[in-house]
Amino acid sequence: YTILSKVHSDRNVYPSAGVLFVHVLEREYFKGEFPPYPKPGEISNDPITFNTNLMGYPDRPGWLRYIQRTPYSDGVLYGSPTVENVGKPTIIEITAYNRRTFETARHNLIINIMSAEVDFPLPYQAEFFIRNMNVEEMLASEVLGDFLGAVKNVWQPERLNAINITSALDRGGRVPLPINDMKEGVYVMVGADVPFSSCLREVENPQNQLRCSQEMEPVITCDKKFRTQFHIDWCKISLVDNTKQVSTFQEVVRGEGILPDGGEYKPPSDTLKSRDYYSDFLITLAVPSAIALVLFLILAYIMCCRREGVEKRNMQTPDIQLVHHSAIQKSTKELRDMSKNREIAWPLSTLPVFHPVTGEIVPPLHTDSYDNTSMPLMQTQQ
């Protein structure tokens, strides 16, 4: 990996296409750009963050990622260049921010992507998922070297390179809970020039596939060579053999489902005739409006002009029925008038003891000489 050696100057790096590229942005080299203001005898440890973008654009290229956990840790640019970018210099603007003094320092990183070596192609690629590592821990040269050494001991290739490293969060993984120092996990893809070893092929066994489907740990003989430092999820390992290139070209056999050739497309002429929309207007608006108006007039005639009235109803009603109806109304009115004139007091048991607003004790409405023995307290009493 390349370490930034000078600030405020252009730095040229020459990664190869298809090989992992790592560039570390060390805070120590940017501290000299910011004036320190510590007390005598103290060491300045200002929080510094970095912003990286492609020159003239707000973000980085698609193959380049950046990570910095805290303002007190170094930033890392990493990714795997593609073949399409070979020969095109990529200028990355690196801006350092001092979070204490709000000062900035800028540096340009020129990435010159070289073509991959033809003499040693890497057709066999394996991707491992390591559960006990974060991406910045795996990007460290010592940790990555230990992992490649373990893979080389199991695979026994003549040439082995790290192709790409991806965080599990970029693959749709969840942020782990802060319990027991849990890690987010990282995917590491490596390539070699020899076929896969028998140990790596053990994942494809039906027994191990069944155990993976039941969310059980498969039995891998070479797992002990990784277990001391790396916890690999063998159910998520991916083996790709690029030597077996399957041709995607298929000859088209015309038959059912294939449309016949209609020749060249002929666009319509520019001289189109004008269309009269008056008839469409009559059909869509005038006709429904006329029908609605007729229905409204019919309903208005029925509701307003066909009312019978009280006089016509009385004329059609027999006299004896009108006499009975009048007698019933007169009797009902007399009973209501008699009920209004009743002056019988309510029993004391039904009156409130306290005033509902002030809470004071309410004196009884009846005098002590009032005789209420003849009034029943309940309807069932005789």
- The boundaries of the domain holding residue 219 are 122-242
Do residues 100 and 48 lie in contact, with contact meaning Cβ atoms separated by under 8 Å?
no
> Does 106 lie in the same domain as 15?
yes
> Does 228 lie in the same domain as 188?
yes
User: CA–CA separation, 230 vs 65, rounded Å?
Assistant: 23
> Where is the domain boundary, 205, 226, 242?
242
User: Is 206 part of a structural domain of the chain?
Assistant: yes
> Does 160 lie in the same domain as 75?
no
User: Is 10 part of a structural domain of the chain?
Assistant: yes
User: Is 312 part of a structural domain of the chain?
Assistant: no
Helical (H) or strand (E) element with 93? strand 90-98
pLDDT tens per residue, range 61-95: 888 999 998 899 999 999 988 888 888 888 999 99
Total count of domains within the chain = 2
Write the burial class of residue 258 (CB in 10 Å: 0-12 exposed, 13-18 middle, 19+ buried).
exposed
Q: Write out residues in the chain with pLDDT < 50, as ranges.
A: 1-8, 119, 247-249, 377, 381-382
pLDDT of residue 87: 82
User: Is 287 part of a structural domain of the chain?
Assistant: no
> Does 135 lie in the same domain as 95?
no
> Does 235 lie in the same domain as 129?
yes
pLDDT of residue 4: 35
Widest Cα–Cα separation across the chain: 128
> Does 140 lie in the same domain as 103?
no
> Where is the domain boundary, 220, 242, 264?
242
User: Is 94 part of a structural domain of the chain?
Assistant: yes
User: CA–CA separation, 167 vs 185, rounded Å?
Assistant: 6
> Does 144 lie in the same domain as 226?
yes
pLDDT of residue 53: 92
pLDDT of residue 353: 63
Domain with residue 69: its CATH number is 2.60.40.10
> Does 134 lie in the same domain as 97?
no
Q: What angle do CA 211, 181, 184 make, to 5 degrees?
A: 55
pLDDT of residue 291: 94
> Where is the domain boundary, 183, 209, 242?
242
Going by C-alpha positions, the residue among 214, 219, 189, 192 that lies closest to residue 203 is 219
> Does 149 lie in the same domain as 93?
no
pLDDT of residue 114: 86
